Structure 1
Amino acid sequence: MTREQFYQIAENWFHKQNWKPFQFQTQTWTAFLQGKNGLLNAPTGSGKTYALWFPIVLNYIKENPEYKTKHKPGLKAIWITPLRALSVEIKQAAERVATDLGTQMTVGIRSGDTTTSERTKQKNKMPDLLITTPESLQLLLATKEYAKTFANCTAIVIDEWHELLGTKRGVQMELALSRLKTIAPKMRIWGISATIGNLELAQEVLLGNNSDAFKNSVLIKANINKKITVKSIIPEKMETFPWRGHMGLHLIADVAKIIRKSKTTLIFTNTRSQCELWFQVLLEKYPEFAGEMAMHHGSIARETRVWVENAIKNEELKVVVCTSSLDLGVDFAPVETIIQIGGPKGVARFLQRAGRSGHQPGKESVIYFVATHAMELIEASALKKAAAETIVEDRIPYLNSYDVLIQYLNTLAVSDGFFPDEIYQEVKKTFCFQNLSIENWHWILNFITHGSQSLQAYDEYKKVEIDENGLYKINSRTIAMHHRMQIGTIVSDANLNVKFLSGGYIGSIEEWFVSKLTRGDTFTFGGKKLEFYAIKNMNVLVRKADAKKVSKTVSWMGGRMTLSAQMSELLREELYAANNENLTPELKALKPIFDRQRRESIVPNTNEFLIETFKTREGFHAIFYPFEGRFVHEALASILSYRITLLSPISFSLAYNDYGFELLSDQEIDMQAVFDNNLFSSEFVHHDLQKSLNATEMARRKFRDIAVIAGLVFTGMPGKPIKTKHLQSGSQLLFEVFRDYEPENLLLQQAYIETFEHQLEEGRLLQSLERINKQEIVWKQCEKPTPFSFPIITDRLREKLTSETLADRIAKMTASYMK
């Protein structure tokens, strides 16, 4: 059968669906059938899934001319998805192609949700086409004789590669692929990505920049102009618009109007707490939505989430309030409208969410932006520009993630064992470990066999044994069992299951939130008002609470996000544009606030860096505006306050948000001394960061995750997780041992590197300081807080006061200011 005949089969199938193949789809078919690897970049909802399922099935037909009568069972292709929720959708697409083309190929799913019986069935007979997750792929590598399972596999597709790139799950995939290239020589490697800036680098990381797979690869970009319409919800009276965030609830009436006009609406929130709150308030204010509205986030029971996803597809729901749990790939064709509550902090995230509506080729995506406070309208204006010009962020890959490498080596040792020289050559061809020295490799081998220099006296850290042939193998059944239970790179605080006293699972919440509850306390979770009863066997037992009772909304750690570097740059451009005549609708709406800001201070231009100082009953305030995101501002505030204290003794309270940071003191800062001593210098930043922030404490917290991934601490048996405080104390003890007796320990060094590079964004911090040094510093001595400073001040108050007290305090501050 010729290539043209293969294409005819595919095109006939598309014709039956009333579709026409896009050029990027036929390009992908050609490249795949030529034996090439590659990365496919195409917008959400454009048919990327069929671009690769078709050549996979066609290749099987090509290699098996008698495919209709003689089926050869065995694993032929693997589809990796970062989210288990996407598996069913991908399986349906694969079954559709395999069945319609007359093959006898079977399709299966393997993830954390797969039953034990199904896993056993797969062990005896793998499906032809397997949909799985990065973690489940590692578990397959941890099984005996895994090489036989993958030997005849001809393809692996990593879906939503942009979600894995720049994470340790991505590193996990790099290592798995390095092994599969050896044991499955016919395997083609393909990635699929929608929203990413640095595509060429993404391709290198996926395939290994110095590997044969990369040399025989292509990058295919879809030339499809996906129309995305961004509509900002702007209040009629700007004077009533809050100057800081109130979760966006002041615009709930406008949101309700949009919901009523649309067949189906997804309301995206940035955090699970915000999701819970919006669902509750919408239900209270608009009871007519009851029965037509649902909630979806990662902590809600899986059965509930699956029901919600199916209800959207079947048009049984009018509105769903959700988080990033619905960001990716599930085909929600009926969704007409997307609403984003608050700044999404990143362009890619925003475009990904916009693509949930009009999730079909050629359809327009409509997204409404609900600013939670006035300044976020600048973000809305910036996002409109980004959507129009398709500006998206780069994803920065990890380098030298030794914890993931140690976990991977233990995985190989649990199954059939490994010979170090062979694996070293494979690992060196990955992007993450391209610079792995032979000295560090030997250190890692010593670590898994002897527990490193300072742990050699403890048998529990001697996991891997070396036989007489030099094979590295884990022989202990207990160690093997513990390792298989802990495969993965996502480390979070212990989650406890929430169950009714009468039976029935609701979802899971974090241990730290439960620890603050006493019997009788009421909290809202999963759209229900619940009364806390007790914790038993790591389950949070609850009963339905009185609907009239005041309750707190469940919250999770890590809710704060920061502006991406790309988003920060776009934000600054829009802010500077506020001084021009041709303003966007969002900037026009902000004119009253900009006018008030100019009366008290200035709206900075491109070449200006603004500092404001004023005095209130709280003390002396100094506000700085780099517009670089809260993580960078946290580091900048710490460095600057440290440098000022070197000039004269002074104490500060620090506050920061995405726009700037505040130094508050009971004595006035000598600003002239700050300028004269060049305290914004980019020199000695690393040293000053270590001194100003408790870098050791931050590294200690980071080390907990590294210790879990590397298998130094065990997180517990299923249903009986070890408490977070015990995990923390165990990892802290190891941290202190390494710090005091083995400072060259690679995992210890990794903790510090990740603290500075990933948490404090040291590289971005340096760029920010370099930019400030090129700008003219404008110091404005103000009479009272300005519109720009107001959100920063109230963010600090939020950390100190309860929400009720905070609302009263803000109301008083606003009233006082408006006089």
Structure 2
Amino acid sequence: MNRAALYQIAENWFEAQNWKPFAFQKQTWKAFLQGKNGLLNAPTGSGKTYALWFPIILNYIKQVDEGKIKKQSGLKAIWITPLRALSTEIKQAAERVITDLGVPMTVGIRTGDTSTTERTQQKNKMPDLLITTPESLQLLLGSKNYAQTFAKCTAIVIDEWHELLGSKRGVQMELALSRLKSITQDMRIWGISATIGNLELAQEVLLGKETDAFKNSVLIKANLPKKITVKSILPKKMETYPWRGHMGLHLLDEVVQIIRKSKTTLLFTNTRSQCEIWFQTLLDHYPEFAGEIAMHHGSIAKETRIWVENAIKNEELKLVVCTSSLDLGVDFAPVETIIQVGGPKGVARFLQRAGRSGHQPGKESVIYFLATHAMELIEASALKKAAAETIVEDRIPYLNCYDVLIQYLNTLAVADGFYPNEIFKEIKQTFCYQNISDAEWLWVLNFITKGSQSLQAYDEFKKVEIEANGLFKINNKRIAIQHRMQIGTIVSDAVLNVKFLSGGYIGSIEEWFASKLQRGDTFIFAGRKLEFHSIKNMIVLVKLANGKKESKSVSWMGGRMTFSAQMSELLRQELYKVNQELLTPELKALQPVFERQQKESIIPNDNQLLIESFKTREGYHTIFYPFEGRFVHEALASLLSYRISLLSPISFSLAYNDYGFELLSDQILDLEALFDNNLLSTSHLHDDLQSSLNATEMARRKFRDIAVIAGLVFTGRPGQPVKTKHLQSGSQLLFEVFRDYEPDNLLLRQAYIETFEHQLEEGRLIQALERINNQEIVVKRCEKPTPFSFPIITDRLREKLSSETLAERIAKMTASYLKV
């Protein structure tokens, strides 16, 4: 059967659906059937799933027609999804095509949710088309005779590649692909990505640098115009807009008006805690919504999440309050409106969420931005520009992740074993390990076989045995079982399941929150008011709470995000427009705030760094405004306080947000003298950072995750997790051993590199200082806190006060500072 006949099969199917295939879909079919690899860049809701299921199925029809393969002869293609929640919809799309075409193919799902019975069935007879996750793919590579399982696989599709790129899960995929290329004869590798700033690099990372797969590849861009309308939710009286806050509940009534006008709305929050609070507040103030609204986040029971997703599709819900758990993939055509509460901190995340409405080709996406405090309206203005000009972030890939490599080698050793020379050639072709040296490779091999230099005396770290023929193999059954239980690169704080005393699973909360609960305490979780009873066998037992007793809202660690580099640049550009009077509607709405800021201080231009100082009963405040994002400001605040302390004995309290940072002390700073001593110099930056931030302590915390991924510490069996404090103490002990007796240990080195490159963003910090050194430094001595400084100085209070007390304190401070 020639290609023209195959294309006609696809064209006829589309015509039967009253659809017409897009040019990018036809391009993908053609490239795939020509034997090419590639990266498809297409917006969500544009039909990208059919762009790749079709050529996979058409290729099968062609091979059967030519007698190259027999029907029902095993695994033909793998579809990788980063989210298990997407697998059902992807399966339905494939089944729709094969059923309509009458093709005798089977489709299966293999994720963490797949039952043991189904896994066993798949082991005996794999489906033709398999939908799975990066972790489950690794588990397949860790099974006996895996080469036979994949031998006749002709394609692998990595969906949402932009989500995996720049993460250790992406590295995991690179390694898996390097093995699959070797054990299959004719495997085509395809990635699907939403728009990112560095698509060409994304293609290179996917296919491997300087490989035959990369040389025989294409980059296909959908080029479908997608209209995204961004609307800011503004109060009737701007003067009453809060100077700081993080919930946005002051605009509840305006939000409800928008919800009532739409059939279905998704309200996105940045954190699970915020999600819980918004859901509960909506029900408290608008009880008539009961039964029409639901909540969706990653800690809610899977059954509940699936029910919510189906209810959205079936137009049974008016509103869903959600987090990033609904960012990706699932097709919610009925959704008309998106509301984003608070700055999303990145352009790509914002555009991804906007695309959840109008989730069909040619449909307009509408997203409302709800600024939680005045300054966030500048972000709204910046996001409008980004949406209009499609300005999105780059994704920066990882290099030399020794922990992921160690886990991968142990996975191969658990299966059929491996020969080092063969595997070394494969991993050298990946982007992540393209520069790994022979000495580093030898160190990794010694680590998995001998436990590294400093752990040679302990048999538990000697996992891999070298057999007489040079095969590296794990033969110890206990080590093999523990390794399979711990495959993966997502390391989070220990979570405990929450169940009713009477039975029934609700969801999961983090161990640190559960450990603070006393019997009789009430807390709000998954939209219910619960009373804590006890923790038994690592399960939090609760019952429904009665009465009006004050309840806590569940909170999770790691809830704070930071500006991306692109978002920071966009925000500065919008702010600089104020002095040029090039005002967007959002900037016009901020006029009362800007007028007060200019009365007390200035609004900086693009060639100025603003520093404000003033005195309150807390002490002397010095505020810097680089507008570079929370993580960069955290590093800058620590760096400057350290450098100042070298010049004179002084101690500081630090506070920072995405706009700037504060140094609070009990004595006034002579800023002019400090700048004369190269306060903002990039010289000796790395050493000063290491001293100022106690980088060893930060690296120690980072090492815990590395130790888990590398298998140095065991996280526990299903239902019996090791407590976080025990994991921490175990990994800390190893950290101290390596630091004192093996300072050239690659995992120790990796902990410091990740601390500086990913947590402190040292590269961005250097760029920020270089930019600042070319600006005029403007120091304004103010009488009282300014609108720009207010969010920063009150952010410090959040660490000390409860939400209610903080709100009262801020209200008093606002009233005081607004007095003329």
Partner of 2:145: 145
SS of match in other structure, 1:533? strand
Deviation per CA, 1:284-326: give whole Å up to 9, x if none.
0011110010000000000000000000000111100000000
1:35 counterpart letter in structure 2: G
Partner of 1:332: 332
Indicate the larger mover: 134-143 or 572-581: 572-581
Partner of 1:162: 162
Partner of 1:562: 562
SS of match in other structure, 2:180? helix
Deviation per CA, 1:632-676: give whole Å up to 9, x if none.
000000000001111111000000000000000001111111221
Partner of 2:287: 287
Partner of 1:370: 370
Indicate the larger mover: 749-758 or 7-16: 7-16
Amino-acid identity (%): 82
Matched, 1:533 2:533: yes
Distance 1:670 1:334 in 2: 60
SS of match in other structure, 2:668? coil
Partner of 1:717: 717
Q: CA offset at residue 68 of structure 1?
A: 14
SS of match in other structure, 2:640? helix
Distance 1:69 1:666 in 2: 80
Contact 1:601–1:612 (8 Å) recurs in 2:
yes
Q: CA offset at residue 66 of structure 1?
A: 7.5
Contact 1:195–1:352 (8 Å) recurs in 2:
no
Distance 1:128 1:67 in 2: 17
- Structure 1 consecutive aligned stretches of length 4 or more whose deviation exceeds 2 Å: 66-70
Contact 1:81–1:160 (8 Å) recurs in 2:
yes
Q: How does 1:22-41 map to 2 (within 5 A)?
A: 22-41=22-41
Distance 1:69 1:592 in 2: 73
Partner of 2:79: 79
Distance 1:95 1:578 in 2: 55
SS of match in other structure, 2:317? coil
SS of match in other structure, 1:86? helix
Q: CA offset at residue 73 of structure 1?
A: 2.6
2:541 counterpart letter in structure 1: L
Q: CA offset at residue 547 of structure 1?
A: 4.8
Distance 2:380 2:609 in 1: 22
Contact 2:63–2:69 (8 Å) recurs in 1:
no
2:611 counterpart letter in structure 1: I
2:303 counterpart letter in structure 1: E
Distance 1:70 1:624 in 2: 69
Partner of 1:807: 807
Distance 2:348 2:549 in 1: 40
Distance 1:546 1:678 in 2: 61
SS of match in other structure, 1:793? helix
SS of match in other structure, 2:534? strand
Distance 1:57 1:546 in 2: 57
SS of match in other structure, 1:570? helix
Partner of 2:119: 119
Distance 1:577 1:90 in 2: 45
Partner of 1:585: 585
SS of match in other structure, 1:176? helix
Partner of 1:187: 187
Distance 2:304 2:515 in 1: 26
Partner of 1:211: 211
Distance 2:2 2:610 in 1: 67
Contact 1:138–1:411 (8 Å) recurs in 2:
yes
1:118 counterpart letter in structure 2: E
2:458 counterpart letter in structure 1: Y
Deviation per CA, 1:660-712: give whole Å up to 9, x if none.
00000001111111221120111111001001001000000000000000000
Indicate the larger mover: 68-77 or 595-604: 68-77
Distance 2:317 2:70 in 1: 45
Distance 1:376 1:171 in 2: 35
SS of match in other structure, 1:774? coil
Indicate the larger mover: 400-409 or 807-816: 807-816
SS of match in other structure, 2:711? coil
Q: 1:70/1:152 Cα in 2 relative to 1: closer, same or farther (>3 Å)?
A: closer
Partner of 2:505: 505
SS of match in other structure, 2:580? coil
Contact 1:68–1:102 (8 Å) recurs in 2:
no
Distance 2:302 2:167 in 1: 24
> Unaligned regions of 5+ residues in structure 2, if any?
none
1:120 counterpart letter in structure 2: T
Partner of 1:405: 405
Matched, 1:239 2:227: no
Q: CA offset at residue 380 of structure 1?
A: 0.3
Q: How does 1:39-54 map to 2 (within 5 A)?
A: 39-54=39-54
2:231 counterpart letter in structure 1: K
Contact 1:268–1:321 (8 Å) recurs in 2:
yes
1:663 counterpart letter in structure 2: L
SS of match in other structure, 2:202? helix
Matched, 1:440 2:440: yes
Distance 1:518 1:173 in 2: 43
Distance 1:84 1:638 in 2: 40
Matched, 1:427 2:427: yes
Matched, 1:5 2:5: yes
Deviation per CA, 1:119-166: give whole Å up to 9, x if none.
000000000000000000000000000000000000000000000000
Partner of 1:307: 307
2:153 counterpart letter in structure 1: C
SS of match in other structure, 1:633? helix
Q: CA offset at residue 246 of structure 1?
A: 3.9
Partner of 1:731: 731
Distance 1:112 1:547 in 2: 39
Contact 1:73–1:127 (8 Å) recurs in 2:
no
Q: CA offset at residue 69 of structure 1?
A: 12
Distance 2:351 2:587 in 1: 21
Q: TM-score, normalised by structure 2?
A: 0.99
Deviation per CA, 1:84-115: give whole Å up to 9, x if none.
00000000001111111210100000000000
Contact 1:704–1:727 (8 Å) recurs in 2:
yes
Partner of 1:781: 781
Q: How does 1:598-677 map to 2 (within 5 A)?
A: 598-677=598-677
2:201 counterpart letter in structure 1: L
Contact 2:246–2:342 (8 Å) recurs in 1:
no
Deviation per CA, 1:51-72: give whole Å up to 9, x if none.
0000000000111117999623
Q: 1:69/1:802 Cα in 2 relative to 1: closer, same or farther (>3 Å)?
A: closer
Distance 1:375 1:536 in 2: 46
Partner of 1:482: 482
1:760 counterpart letter in structure 2: L
Distance 1:490 1:25 in 2: 33
Aligned residue-pair number: 819
Distance 1:357 1:623 in 2: 40
SS of match in other structure, 2:773? helix
Distance 2:572 2:54 in 1: 45
Contact 1:195–1:351 (8 Å) recurs in 2:
no
SS of match in other structure, 2:65? coil
SS of match in other structure, 2:157? strand
1:451 counterpart letter in structure 2: G
Distance 1:73 1:528 in 2: 50
Distance 1:507 1:317 in 2: 21
Q: TM-score, normalised by structure 1?
A: 0.99
Matched, 1:573 2:581: no
Indicate the larger mover: 244-253 or 703-712: 244-253
Partner of 1:450: 450
Contact 1:613–1:781 (8 Å) recurs in 2:
yes
Deviation per CA, 1:734-763: give whole Å up to 9, x if none.
000000000000000000000000000000
Contact 2:607–2:775 (8 Å) recurs in 1:
yes
Partner of 1:692: 692
